Structure 1
Amino acid sequence: MVERFSKILERAINWSKEFDNLGDWYTHLLRKSPTGTIHIHVLGNTITANPDNVEYMLKTRFENYPKGKAFSAILGDLLGRGIFNVDGDSWRFQRKMASLELGSLSIRSYAFEIISSEIQHRLLPLLSTVAGKEENSVLDLQDVFRRFSFDNICRFSFGLDPGCLQLSLPISDFAVAFDLASKLSAERAMSTSPMIWKIKRLFNLGSEKKLKEAIKLVNVLAEEVIQQKRKTDLSTQKDLLSRFMTTINDDRYLRDIVISFLLAGRDTVASALTGFFWLLTQHPEVEAAIRYESDQIMEPNQEIASFEQMREMHYLQAAMYESLRLFPPIQFDSKFTQEDDVLPDGTFVRKGSRVTYHPYAMGRMERVWGPDCLEFKPERWLQNGVFTQKSPFKYPVFQAGLRVCLGKELALVQMKSVALSLIRRFDIRVTEPSRTPRFAPGLTATVRGGLPVLIQEWRT
């Protein structure tokens, strides 16, 4: 028994010798499992790529699979009581409030104004400057997307413009602190035991000391913004924080809610766009099809597509969904069982144990997507040229059931707006197209070393 445990532990530690990413190792193990579910005893984690299990966790027995106290502890210092770190009544309250706000026409229009402004006045001029240089200048497109997303989500959430995407590409203290806090919070989850980071936090040592300092800076800025908002006429403000302040008086609670939206809206969009443009380099025929489709709908020199025009671009929507299938920004998501249970595939899960569904692996499972599951094939989403949804439990990129992502449509509009603007204006090529993306540990999928690209103006 000890010998078997040692072999399992050795394989868990040495996965990088065989696979580029930890997610690829899990995919390999899940493919070999008859049920599409495995149990990693060393980590005490049941991992599944079975759509029936996903539906059971996120819909059928939703109440038995909350985030759990273990997850809340890991992100508690950064997210506090924000929507992504709570269960029960607190989650329901924030969910209802956020649903009302994000579903309103005025907030969607406000978000689109911000996106369009950032693209026209910062993103396009930056890339045009790089493309206009005589020598071939390499630009880290992942860094550009992270800056773009951070500007957008700060303006949308706080009404604050950090200006990260200005031509000089300035360093934002807030962005640096936020990135560090996110990274170090994620590293807590990778500790062999939660006692390690809890002891370090108790004695204010190492990474926990750095985390505390980073969160302190984030808190100072958030508190300053909230205090400034208190001095204004909130009814004239359009940002998310101002809207929440009309119903919530607890400043700490406001901070937690908005920081959660900041985390969700920044890294996920940047990650999705990074994967999308890496795939376009591999598949110029998809890029050409997007250009052709947009030429049929948009004016020749039009930089930003309208809501109505984007709704007509079924191939673009299909390409975006297909990219997210292969490179989901959130590669896995864990819950902790309230009571003993048996998943639909017969897997027993004990009370208090961790159960993880794995969108990254699911997108690479032949039993879920067919023998061409590893191919980037937007056509799989089209029926007679019209985009057609798949089961969200087969494709839980935006979660599913009661926790389905409220910002899904806003995120897609942002991603499609950026993709269209860049594809119609530039020829963008990854400098090392044969290099498989390797992801750094974190809350979202971030490519190690970024996404270096060469950029030229597109000429028909």
Structure 2
Amino acid sequence: MSSAQIWGFWGLLLAFSIHNYPIRGELALFLELALLVLGYFQSNEHSIPGGLLSIFGYRLSPFHPLAKIPGPIINKITSLRLAYIVYSGKRHVILGELHRRYGKIVRTGPGTISVNSHAAVGRLYADALAMDKSSAYMAKTVGKGGLFFMQSREKHRERRKIWSNAFTPRMLKLYKTAVERRTMQLVATIRRRKDSQGVVNLLECIQHWSYDVMGDITFGGSTNLELMANGDTQDLVRCGQVGTTIFEVLGEVPSLFDILWHLPVTEGFKRLENHARRLILSRKTSEIQEDLAGHLLHSGELTDRDLAMDSVLAIVAGSDTTSGIAAFMLYFLVCHPHAYKALVEELDGVFMDSDQPLFDELLEKLPYLEAVVYESLRLGSPLPGLPRVVPKGGLLIEGTYVPEGTIVGVPPHQQHTSEENFSPDPQAFRPERWLPGASDAGWHTNRAALMSFSYGPFGCLGRAVAIQELRVLAARLLLTFDLSPAPGFDQAAFLDGVVNFRTTIFRYPLSVLVKERTDFKE
């Protein structure tokens, strides 16, 4: 094969991959590089640099479909830069910097853009107009058939119908019983784990509490994990976070996912999946139970692999998301004495002692508790993006035409901290912005901008459960204990150590000084 023939074939392949498939193209780049290497050995010409220049040159040229959208040059050339940004765990921060520099629409990859605009949320995610998920969710090895990994809105809707039976008002009441029971166990766990000075790593306690709660909700308490009682002897919290991190980073280079998923680092996640599969098989010979797995099994429409994967994702995603937000909520409270005092006063005005049942009809009517929960959701969900694929015909976003096949997303963290949606002090923890009549006090709060549970038809079905958990957790702990930062606790270091890969990882413990409350009967 002559050099001219190779170059001609490269050009045809490049044009075909760009104009007939989604234009992020790391798989196309791999094929092109393979052809370049082939050309090197067959033509004795050092053509690799020239071939790369032709690829990169096109992506930077005015002929590229996204040429008019601003962004860093390196991002336009390769998606590996975005993968690296994701790997840093600070994508939510870096995207903010890019939007401040380039504006509302930024090109983050050869075929990906980020849109920091609330007006775009409805166009991308709303029920009637929602687009399919991008190839960032295409993890065939781990997630084939799993609800979370379904890219098609239609297929997702069918599976969601099966899940929805497990989240009816009646089921939520059953879950509330598990949440209350486990939260009382958390109180005992905190008492047992605090050191002689009364200091405890509240983060670890909350993570174990959240896993145990989701084990009850998913399998009715038959998982035998019992992290609060036994500790995380199988390192499940970390393994779940590692699995989620791999998925998030390789979502930017999905062609590598199925290879790297076989690395030893994912063994913990696989152990949890195998455990779930054994539980599913045992359920087939017993009566249907009132939990998530029971409803999924009762549908009769899912394979054993799908049942196991959906169950594992429910435990990992449900526990990880809730524990991350709960950790932020308690961090904000103990580090903001005014907010802590206001919530304690509200709770003390309703409950007579720390052991009183936390009825929903009482908790739901506490405005400051609700404000604390929603402010924690706003600042405690550093989600980087929810990528979608522009459908045939393209669309206009903020007056800019975006061609079909482009991967586009609105960064939730930027929406949550935008002055257009939350002012004043969008970066500050101020529960008052959510109180009734807040607008009369000068607060601007765009409730529709909250994207902590995704948005539209792909939105999280467990939203009501998570909010229920946060209410119960805050109420029970503040009714039982006096909490304050432990001596020497570095608030700035704790926040700086937070990284997000769709899972929130805290590099430092949430060290809290715990004292029993003794003032109820005074």
Which TM class, normalised by the smaller chain length?
A: 0.7 to 0.9
Q: Could you tell me how far apart the structure 2 residues matched to 1:390 and 1:94 are?
A: 34
Whether 1:226 aligns to 2:280 is yes
1:127-155 Cα shifts (integer Å, max 9, x gaps): 12345x43353x33222222111111112
- Distance apart, 1:298 and its partner CA: 1.4
Q: Could you tell me how far apart the structure 2 residues matched to 1:169 and 1:221 are?
A: 17
Q: Could you tell me how far apart the structure 2 residues matched to 1:401 and 1:196 are?
A: 29
Partner residue, 1:151: 212
Of 103, 112, 126, the residue aligned with 2:168 is 103
Equivalence map 1:52-451=2 (5 Å): 52-59=119-126, 62-63=129-130, 65-68=131-134, 70-74=135-139, 76-86=140-150, 87-105=152-170, 107-120=171-184, 122-131=185-194, 133-137=195-199, 139-159=200-220, 160-172=222-234, 177-189=239-251, 193-198=253-258, 200-201=259-260, 208-210=262-264, 213-234=267-288, 237-248=289-300, 250-328=303-381, 330-384=383-437, 393-430=448-485, 431-435=489-493, 436-451=495-510
Q: Does the 8 Å CA contact 2:390/2:402 hold for their aligned counterparts?
A: yes
Q: Does the 8 Å CA contact 1:177/1:217 hold for their aligned counterparts?
A: no
Given the superposition, is the C-alpha separation of residues 6 and 213 from structure 1 closer, same or farther in structure 2, using an over 3 Å criterion? Answer: closer
Q: Could you tell me how far apart the structure 2 residues matched to 1:169 and 1:352 are?
A: 46
Q: Could you tell me how far apart the structure 2 residues matched to 1:448 and 1:393 are?
A: 31
Given the superposition, is the C-alpha separation of residues 455 and 77 from structure 1 closer, same or farther in structure 2, using an over 3 Å criterion? Answer: farther
Q: Which amino acid aligns with 1:228?
A: S
Partner residue, 1:204: none
Q: Does the 8 Å CA contact 2:92/2:413 hold for their aligned counterparts?
A: yes
Given the superposition, is the C-alpha separation of residues 20 and 370 from structure 1 closer, same or farther in structure 2, using an over 3 Å criterion? Answer: farther
Q: Could you tell me how far apart the structure 2 residues matched to 1:60 and 1:152 are?
A: 30
1:262-303 Cα shifts (integer Å, max 9, x gaps): 233111100111111121133111111111111111122335
Q: Secondary structure in 2 aligned to 1:383? A: coil
Whether 1:38 aligns to 2:100 is no
- When the two chains are superposed, the root-mean-square deviation of aligned CA atoms in Å is 3.2
Q: Which amino acid aligns with 1:5?
A: I
Q: Secondary structure in 1 aligned to 2:433? A: helix
1:143-172 Cα shifts (integer Å, max 9, x gaps): 222211111111211222444443552413
Given the superposition, is the C-alpha separation of residues 429 and 37 from structure 1 closer, same or farther in structure 2, using an over 3 Å criterion? Answer: farther
Q: Does the 8 Å CA contact 1:181/1:215 hold for their aligned counterparts?
A: yes
Listed as ranges, the gaps of 5+ residues in structure 1 are 202-206
- Distance apart, 1:336 and its partner CA: 2.0
Q: Could you tell me how far apart the structure 2 residues matched to 1:316 and 1:88 are?
A: 35
Identity of aligned residues (%): 19
1:177-219 Cα shifts (integer Å, max 9, x gaps): 54443333233235xx444445x44xxxxx6322564454233
Partner residue, 2:41: none
Q: Does the 8 Å CA contact 1:178/1:215 hold for their aligned counterparts?
A: yes
Q: Which amino acid aligns with 1:96?
A: K
Q: Which amino acid aligns with 2:105?
A: T
TM-score, normalised to structure 1, is 0.85
Q: Secondary structure in 2 aligned to 1:375? A: coil
Q: Could you tell me how far apart the structure 2 residues matched to 1:427 and 1:246 are?
A: 45
Q: Could you tell me how far apart the structure 1 residues matched to 2:382 and 2:282 are?
A: 33
- Distance apart, 1:125 and its partner CA: 0.8
Q: Does the 8 Å CA contact 1:320/1:416 hold for their aligned counterparts?
A: yes
Q: Which amino acid aligns with 1:55?
A: G
Given the superposition, is the C-alpha separation of residues 135 and 416 from structure 1 closer, same or farther in structure 2, using an over 3 Å criterion? Answer: same
1:372-423 Cα shifts (integer Å, max 9, x gaps): 212211111122489x996554222222333333211111011110111112
- Distance apart, 1:117 and its partner CA: 1.1
Q: Could you tell me how far apart the structure 1 residues matched to 2:138 and 2:240 are?
A: 18
1:309-353 Cα shifts (integer Å, max 9, x gaps): 101111110111112112216342211223242344123323222
Q: Secondary structure in 1 aligned to 2:300? A: coil
Q: Does the 8 Å CA contact 2:383/2:500 hold for their aligned counterparts?
A: no
Q: Which amino acid aligns with 1:154?
A: G
Given the superposition, is the C-alpha separation of residues 197 and 109 from structure 1 closer, same or farther in structure 2, using an over 3 Å criterion? Answer: closer
Q: Secondary structure in 2 aligned to 1:297? A: coil
**Matched positions, count:** 438
Q: Could you tell me how far apart the structure 2 residues matched to 1:375 and 1:340 are?
A: 41
Q: Does the 8 Å CA contact 1:304/1:417 hold for their aligned counterparts?
A: no
Q: Does the 8 Å CA contact 2:211/2:319 hold for their aligned counterparts?
A: yes
Q: Could you tell me how far apart the structure 2 residues matched to 1:222 and 1:301 are?
A: 36
Q: Which amino acid aligns with 1:418?
A: L
Partner residue, 2:93: 24
Q: Which amino acid aligns with 2:107?
A: H
Given the superposition, is the C-alpha separation of residues 219 and 166 from structure 1 closer, same or farther in structure 2, using an over 3 Å criterion? Answer: closer
Partner residue, 2:73: 5
1:82-106 Cα shifts (integer Å, max 9, x gaps): 222112433112222222330231x
Q: Could you tell me how far apart the structure 1 residues matched to 2:345 and 2:427 are?
A: 25
Listed as ranges, the gaps of 5+ residues in structure 2 are 1-55, 61-71
Given the superposition, is the C-alpha separation of residues 415 and 367 from structure 1 closer, same or farther in structure 2, using an over 3 Å criterion? Answer: same
More relative contact order, 1 or 2 (CA 8 Å, 6+ apart) = 1
